[in-house]
Structure 1
Amino acid sequence: MRVFMSALGIAIGISAMIAVVGISSSGRADLDRRLAELGTNMLTIAPGSTMTGGDAKLPPESAAMIARIGPVEKVAATGKLSSAKVYRNDRIPSGQSGGIAVLAAQLSVPDTVGATLADGIWFNAATEKYPGVVLGSSAAKRLGVAAAGPDVQVWLGGQRFTVLGILDPVPLAPELDGSALVGWTAAQTYLGFDAHPTTVYTRTAESAVDAVRAVLAATANPQAPNEVKVSRPSDALAAREATDEALTGLLLALGGVALLVGGVGVANTMVITVLERRAEIGLRRSLGATRGQIRLQFL
């Protein structure tokens, strides 16, 4: 019975440790997933100011150059078209644009910023060359556009653009919610876009966020890195690192407690066994048994 109880105590201790570690690890993985959705590894690049105080510009090839940085996983750029306005139709007075920004967007924007479509489609290699537009969630409401389709058009930059899609709200890039996005090539063809991006979004391996941030400005604009603004890492990244440290300590503590409980249980069983057999030990000692032989009997 004592052997059985000892084995049972060890089994329960090990099982408890495995269960506690498993549950804690599952909770940690779920928390890491939720924090990742907050853009812990996203950095944004924008033009700053020149030495004379004027507005700087990012080179047209800045997104492509950033994509060559090893730890950078995804890159996408948008470019603001300040002169282009968007209206529901050509009968709306020019002063009633609703504050909707018009942006040229590269194909990789949704994948980089985590945007999803509420209706319609995003641009592809074919449609981004033609006068089509994808509306942010707020922009669609202001324009009174409830659904996308080939028969749904808006008046943009003095011509009609077909509404290809409507975005869901984008938590990581809220500036897209109130914008009308057109294809990068179409913006150059129909709206006179100069191909200079105004925002570049990057997704980076989390272990290299600080290292990548240090070289982004020089990579985006090698001629004038001081004219580039780079966002700091998300506060969610710091929260994730702190959480990882706390959970690691918790797992080690719980594992240690489980092992301690199991060890105390086994030790307690052995002590009781020895105490209950003191008479037998005394008898064996009187018959000439050595300390080593007695020890071996219990171990």
Structure 2
Amino acid sequence: MSREPAERGSAGTGTGTGTARRAAGRPAPARLGAADVLRVGAAGLRSRPARVVLSALGIAIGIATMVAVIGISSSSREQLMRQLDTLGTNLLTVSPGQTLFGEEAQLPEQALGMVRRIGPVHTASATGKIDATVRRTNHISEAVTGGIEVQASSAELLTTLEGRVRAGTWLNAATERLPAVVLGAKAAERLGVTRTGVQVWMGGRWFTVIGILGPMPLAPEIERSALVGFPAGEKYLGFDGHPTTVYERSAEEAVEDVRSVLPRTVNPENPDEVTVSRPSDALAARAAAAGAFTNLLLGLGAVALLVGGVGVANTMVISVLERRREIGLRRSLGATRGQVRVQFLTESLLLSALGGGVGAGLGALAAAGYALSRGWPPVVPLWAFGGAIGATLVIGTVAGIYPAMRAARLSPTTALATT
């Protein structure tokens, strides 16, 4: 009898210890492996395929825009660099500047010969503008020029510019003295001339078209010109003999040295009235301008990506509200808050990754298709795909943090009581 109360007392005083023992003996919650996390996260997406597709579409549009813009810009830049490699960067042009009083200066008639005497110069040629118009027939008004210039040209021009004749022949020792003309590519297009042997009206008389040139990226002014020989220009069109542009090519390593001596060589008395430029710099400037435009388009793609991220966050918040009973059941069966949080964060990451993967593929296809249609080499840098993956992971994480935390905070009893 005396032992029973003692035992009860002993049991009463040992309640805390017994509880601690029971707590210590309670099984720890099971850990979810990486495969389990992915399977649980994917299950939530498979249950709502239409909503998943619409949410991933926003991410896909943003990523596709960014990858396509980067790919098109890279393809354009690669095409320009290949053009520079093909055409060379050793072409310099000499043209008249302005006099001290702001008037247009003139190059000396001997300018071409003086340039040829510079040691590192390989080849040089010149053109001179003529105050005349070229028209398809003499019935067309003189005011309708079509933006075509008439120029006298030395016979070495095609060699210096490394151009080619698309149809017919170039000027030679005989034709440069005759009323014969060679048309640049755009000049022929604007005149509607597609073959040689036809005649055009220049300076009050007919000239026979003996050649049509191909494109000249380093000398677009030649593409818009009708070219005659220096002797023919003086004889038939009143050319004064002063060149307006001198083209020269020199050794690559000597370009800057030649550039520095050209003004004093061409016009020793007034070197300040001479302008020297390098046409290849214009192509490099175009590549830089394309890069600036790319940044603007990337900004627009980033905005689209941000909107897509908001859509993912909205989808995940609605998913948490709709699946409260599921969350409560998982919690009552032993799932911890951390596991619920990881589940919804994984869903958000998978949703973003789905949109990002589809968007990257579509963007690469769009960039390649556009480049091939323009005759450019298709180039999509690998870092663009890396950036797309990184962006989707960031968007998925940011968009999923709040919904995941909200799901983890739900009480099992409250969630199960929700109808």
- Tell me which interval the TM-score lies in, with the shorter structure as reference length: 0.5 to 0.7
Q: Percent identity?
A: 56
Change in 2 beyond 3 A, CA 1:60/1:137:
same
Superposed CA RMSD:
2.1
Determine if contact 1:49/1:227 at 8 Å carries over to the other structure: yes
Separation (CA, whole Å) in 2 of partners of 1:169 and 1:193: 26
1:225 equivalenced with 2:260 (yes/no): no
- Distance, in Å, in 1 between the alignment partners of 2:147 and 2:278 is 28
User: Does structure 1 residue 188 correspond to structure 2 residue 234?
Assistant: yes
SS of the residue 1:217 aligns to:
helix
Please name the residue that 2:256 is paired with. Answer: 210
1:102 aligns to 2:150 (yes or no) = yes
- TM-superposed CA distance for 1:72, in Å, is 0.4
Distance 1:171 1:238, change over 3 A: closer
**Residue among 119, 127, 134 paired with 1:86:** 134
The alignment partner of 2:87 has SS state of: coil
| Cα pair 2:124 2:156 within 8 Å, conserved | yes
**Does the C-alpha gap of structure 1 residues 160 and 34 become closer, same or farther in structure 2, counting only changes over 3 Å?**
closer
Partner of 1:128: 176
Amino acid at match of 1:111: T
Shift of 1:233: 7.2
Is 2:103 the partner of 1:54? yes
TM-score, structure 2 length as denominator?
Answer: 0.47
> Which residue of 2 is the match for residue 243 of structure 1?
none
Residue of structure 1 aligned with 2:93, choices 25, 40, 44: 44
Which residue number in structure 1 is paired with residue 162 of structure 2? 114
Which whole-Å CA distance do the structure 2 matches of 1:97 and 1:227 have between them?
29
Q: 1:33 to 1:59 in 2, by over 3 A?
A: same
Deviation of 1:35 (Å): 3.9
- The amino acid of 1:102's aligned partner reads V
Q: Distance in 1 between matches of 2:152 and 2:281?
A: 28
Provide, for residues 209-255 of structure 1, a one-character-per-residue CA deviation record: whole Å limited to 9, x for no partner: 1111000000011111110000147349999xxxxxxxxxxxxxxxx
| Residue matched to 1:251 | none
- Deviation per residue, 1:39-69 (Å, 9 max, x gap): 3101000000001110100001101101000
More helix by share: 2
Pairwise CA distance, 1:110: 0.5
Structure 2 Cα separation of the partners of residues 203 and 194 of structure 1: 25
Unaligned runs of 5+ in 1: 1-31, 240-299
Measured after TM superposition, the shift of residue 114 of structure 1 is 1.4
Unaligned runs of 5+ in 2: 1-80, 286-419
CA drift of 1:99 comes to 1.5
SS at match of 2:275: strand
Q: Relative to structure 1, is the Cα distance of residues 92 and 231 closer, same or farther in structure 2, using a 3 angstrom cutoff?
A: same
CA distance in 2, matches of 1:237, 1:132: 32
Q: In 2, Cα distance between the equivalents of 1:160 and 1:237?
A: 37
Please list, as runs of the form range in 1=range in 2, the aligned pairs for 1:119-268 lying within 5 A after superposition.
119-149=167-197, 152-232=198-278, 234-235=280-281
Flag the structure with higher strand content: 1
Query: What does 1:284-299 correspond to in 2, within 5 Å?
Result: none
The corresponding residue for 1:263 is: none
Contact 1:100 1:139 in 2 (8 A): yes
User: Which amino acid is 2:175 matched to?
Assistant: T
Within the candidate set 109, 112, 122, 1:73 is matched to 122
8 Å Cα contact 1:41-1:233 kept in structure 2:
no
Q: Contact 2:128 / 2:241 at 8 angstroms: preserved in 1?
A: yes
Rounded Cα–Cα distance in structure 2 between residues aligned with 1:131 and 1:156: 9
- Secondary structure at 1:122 match in 2: coil
The code of the aligned residue for 1:104 comes to A
1:93 deviates by: 1.5
1:93 and 1:188 mapped to 2: Cα distance?
24
Deviation string 1:78-105 (CA, Å, 9 cap, x unpaired) is 0011x20000011112211212100100
Q: 1:141 to 1:236 in 2, by over 3 A?
A: closer
**Aligned partners of 1:111 and 1:74: how far apart in 2?**
8
User: Structure 1 residues 66, 119: closer, same or farther in 2, change over 3 A?
Assistant: same
Q: CA deviation at 1:111?
A: 0.5
Return the offset for 1:36. 3.8
